[in-house]
Structure 1
Amino acid sequence: MPDVVVIGAGAVGAACAYYAARAGLDTLVVDRGSVAAGTTGAGEGNVLVSDKAPGPELALALLSRDLWLGLTEDGVGGGDGGFEYEPKGGLVVARTPHELAALTALAGAQAEQGAEHVVVPADALTDHEPHLAPGLAGGALYPQDAQVQPALAAARLIRRGAERFGRGTLMLRTGVTVTGLLRVGERVTGVATDHGDILAGAVVNAAGTWGGEIAAMAGTTLPILPRRGFVLVTEPIREPLIRHKVYTAAYVTDVASDSESLETSAVVEATPSGPVLIGASRERVGFDRTTSVPVLERLARQAVELFPVLAGYRAIRAYCGFRPYCPDHLPVIGQDPAVPGLHHACGHEGAGIGLAPATGHLIAQTLTGAVPDLDLRPFLPGRFQEAHR
């Protein structure tokens, strides 16, 4: 009987399990698929502060960024088995003076919370990215932005957590589907699965896009919806054409949008193995995985408009994933007020990779009764249940 069962072996679930084991809790991760088989495996691995509005999510992102750095020093991200942590920084570019003014104002507000940035005038953009298109109005460079290989990160967190810390242990069971939650009175005491019941002291819902379904099993409400996004992948490029994660200021607007319709904005970054990743699209179409050639065409066109040099290279594949979207664009972190023993760690939309360590760290603190390092009130699941009532 573990102290904790974590539902979901994506980046957030892996981080919850890792920090719970570090805190001395015997932890079991269950997933109906394999490690990182859901949203995590379809992500780009963003560890960003640049796209976070001032407030609770930016505070969460800054904490998480510091924890990512700590993980690289803890043996999780280092050596041949690392997760390709790249502290390469992010460059946000503005196409018009109006966009540049809005971007500069946002960066100034973010700086008040500790987000570092440097305003880059138009004539200095190519000093940072030599292949950028001419005619841009300027930008902002965020040195704290980074990137990881998301599937490797999730796997390494679980593997490292499974190595005994001298306190808690971590175990993994894949191919196990949760079919219900076990209860004694109002309290959750484990999970029912297609491989039998698992008793536990607490359950963490880290099911990502399917977090709302797990909550419904307990009779509670989380309005998490899938938001589809495509990523286009180029052939390997020997010459390092792109130095940072580069995206247009419109991306920040798209992240904060509530629209159900298609939105695309150029996001371009290189990878250590050579291919360039091109995003980003957002649309609410349920769990439809149909490849949309028009969306891919838009992504390719916007990428070439930002980096004309990419027109000389081929796109070799594309993939899609489903971001777990919450209406207020904040993740759900903390104990369910209506269901003792059930904790939620889901609804991070497109920021789950970057916010995973902070989420796992905070969940472990709540599980052990420690005072959380951040005020969890903006993230607590009760905010949706109150609205539902």
Structure 2
Amino acid sequence: MTSDYAIIGGGIVGLSTAWGLLKRGLRVTVLDGDDGSFRASRGNFGLVWVQSKGMNQPRYAQWSQASAAAWADFAAELGDATGHDLGLEQRGGYDLHFSEESLEATVAKYEILKQKLGGNYPYEVLGHNALRLEEPAIGPRVVGAILHHQDGHANPLRLLRALADDVRRLGGVILNGKRVTRVDKTDLFRISCDDGTEVEARKTVLSAGLGAAALGPMMGFKAPIRPQRGQVMVTEKLPKLINRPSLIARQVDEGGIQIGATNEEVGLDDTVTQPGLSGLAAEAIAAFPVLAKAQLVRSWGALRILSPDGLPIYQQSPDMPGAYLVTCHSGVTLAAAHARFLPAWLEGADAAPDLEVFSETRFTVS
């Protein structure tokens, strides 16, 4: 049977998009990679995050805000359908600062963005004493924080599992262990895999993360993406210590403190390093001194998928109409947008979001 859509890539981005298309009554086949694939979805820090995004492109801030606002209903619907609690908390998140200068400089940037967004950028600045009332475990070296009220966090592995379960429940097909080697188009798209599997579809979405760098040019995309390593670690389960997440640490729904993440330009290397973990630990202990006594139980590295300017890419192929590139490094934050709003764009519906600023044309050198 021919699908309406073939989704190349079965991570959070691909499955969120597939779920949204299925909700519109479309037939969807997802081709997921093998266990050797680099998987950002399985190494994610789990933030649903608006703060600091779109400083140079307000449309990205708006897109992130729209997704964050849709997350609660999205999580509730997925949870009701699958029985998976996604662990969503959206009570705000912190940008912690260790110097007054960095805090003031960031606030100045936020005020500029807030004006560009017509005032819709709800945050407040907490000095050390005010922050300590909210977070009694905060350390004396933290001079203050920016509390952004649209931020939160979720359990990314449960999100991935719930999406896969519900995609199947809704009639979608997920083919695991498939490495796509070729995409052709006549009247229909034909996607070929190295094991001989072939899938035909009316439209195709390339959401294969770093795999898009190789497949993209075959389909008429520039796909100018690169990997960036993020190392993360998690402690033993602890009593409640951290009430709201930050980019330094968050207490996950199961009790452990997740600490992260590095930003390293090391190519396709997702290993963990002692310097990387030591740096993370030092910063986390400076923020929350009690963590010096916590036992580390696991650490890992994963590769972010970054475009040259760090923003998502949403592009229809000029060479293969009906083929779309969908890639970003904020798959958790944007999961609700990809599920709720992106399908209208893929279908060319009247209610489609305006995603023109995220096209690949922004990378064209004149």
Alignment TM-score, normalising by the size of structure 1: 0.86
Deviations 1:290-339 (A, max 9, x none): 32111111111111111111001111210010000111111111312332
Matches within 5 A, 1:1-389: 1-33=2-34, 38-54=39-55, 55-76=58-79, 80-112=83-115, 113=117, 114-164=120-170, 169-184=171-186, 189-193=189-193, 194-237=195-238, 239-247=239-247, 267-346=248-327, 348-349=328-329, 351-371=330-350, 373-384=352-363, 386-387=364-365
- Judge conservation of contact 1:188–1:342 (CA < 8 Å) in 2: no
Distance in structure 2 (CA, Å) of the matches to 1:105 and 1:78: 43
Report the CA distance shift for 1:202/1:100 in structure 2 as closer, same or farther (over 3 A): same
Deviations 1:244-291 (A, max 9, x none): 1124xxxxxxxxxxxxxxxxxxx1110111111101101111111332
What 5-or-longer segments of structure 2 have no aligned partner? Answer: none
- Could you tell which deviates more after superposition, 75-84 or 65-74? 75-84
Distance in structure 1 (CA, Å) of the matches to 2:8 and 2:336: 16
- Judge conservation of contact 1:2–1:28 (CA < 8 Å) in 2: yes
- Could you tell which deviates more after superposition, 369-378 or 121-130? 369-378
- RMSD, aligned CA: 2.1
- Judge conservation of contact 2:235–2:296 (CA < 8 Å) in 1: yes
Distance in structure 2 (CA, Å) of the matches to 1:192 and 1:357: 30
What SS does the aligned partner of 1:353 have? Answer: coil
In the alignment, what sits opposite 1:257? none
Distance in structure 1 (CA, Å) of the matches to 2:111 and 2:221: 39
Deviations 1:124-149 (A, max 9, x none): 11011111111433221112211111
Distance in structure 2 (CA, Å) of the matches to 1:364 and 1:190: 21
- For residue 21 of structure 1, report the CA deviation from its aligned partner: 0.8
Deviations 1:207-257 (A, max 9, x none): 1122222202224311111101100111111x111111124xxxxxxxxxx
How many residues align? The count is 358
Distance in structure 1 (CA, Å) of the matches to 2:82 and 2:205: 30
Identical columns (%): 27
In the alignment, what sits opposite 1:259? none
Deviations 1:79-126 (A, max 9, x none): 842221122420112222211212222333444432321221232110
Distance in structure 1 (CA, Å) of the matches to 2:191 and 2:8: 9
Deviations 1:149-168 (A, max 9, x none): 1121122123223334xxxx
Distance in structure 1 (CA, Å) of the matches to 2:163 and 2:91: 22
What SS does the aligned partner of 1:284 have? Answer: coil
- Judge conservation of contact 1:6–1:30 (CA < 8 Å) in 2: yes
In the alignment, what sits opposite 1:253? none
Distance in structure 2 (CA, Å) of the matches to 1:338 and 1:119: 49
- Judge conservation of contact 1:88–1:147 (CA < 8 Å) in 2: no
What 5-or-longer segments of structure 1 have no aligned partner? Answer: 248-266
Report the CA distance shift for 1:77/1:157 in structure 2 as closer, same or farther (over 3 A): farther
- Judge conservation of contact 2:226–2:306 (CA < 8 Å) in 1: yes
Distance in structure 2 (CA, Å) of the matches to 1:196 and 1:161: 20
What SS does the aligned partner of 1:278 have? Answer: strand
What SS does the aligned partner of 1:229 have? Answer: strand
- Judge conservation of contact 1:22–1:161 (CA < 8 Å) in 2: no
- Judge conservation of contact 1:92–1:141 (CA < 8 Å) in 2: yes
Distance in structure 2 (CA, Å) of the matches to 1:372 and 1:105: 35
Distance in structure 1 (CA, Å) of the matches to 2:70 and 2:336: 6
Report the CA distance shift for 1:382/1:338 in structure 2 as closer, same or farther (over 3 A): farther
